[in-house]
Amino acid sequence: MSRARNNRPAPYNPPKCWVGDKHKICYPDEETAEMSAALIEVEHGLPSGTLSYYHCEYGDHWHLANSPDKYHRH
Ligand SMILES: [Zn+2]
């Protein structure tokens, strides 16, 4: 397989982990999670603050949560 010229950036393939019964994308730090949340809100026309983010309890990374109340237990 030759990977000669490829002007396109390689698709970002973020790591994921199981949270509850689904895969969730892992963000390496709070800043990235915050930025991604803002980006997704814009893309989907959601009011700012719809998405929240939280530190994963299974690893040193962050996840987005679209229903903040669900993840409020601490
Ligand atoms: Zn995780």
Tens-digit pLDDT profile for residues 9-61: 666 677 889 877 788 999 999 999 999 999 999 999 999 999 999 999 889 99
| CB-based contact 17:26 (threshold 8 Å) | yes
Q: State the pLDDT at residue 20.
A: 73
CA of 56 to the centre of ligand 1 (A): 4
Structural domain boundaries enclosing 44: 16-73
Domain tally for the chain?
1
Q: How far apart are CA 68 and CA 74, in angstroms?
A: 12
What pLDDT does 70 receive?
Answer: 46
48 CA distance to ligand 1 middle (Å):
23
Task: From residue 48, give the alpha-carbon distance in Å to each of 33, 57, 71.
Answer: 14, 25, 18
Does 73 have pLDDT greater than 50? no
Q: How far is the CA of 54 from the centre of ligand 1 (A)?
A: 9
Position 28 in a domain:
yes
Rounded distance from Cα 49 to ligand 1 centre (Å): 21
Q: Is residue 3 part of a domain?
A: no
Asked whether 54 and 71 are in contact (CB, 8 A), the reply is yes
- Within a domain: 37: yes
pLDDT the model gives residue 23:
86
Q: Residue 8 and residue 52: Cα distance in Å, rounded?
A: 31
Residue 55 lies in a domain: yes
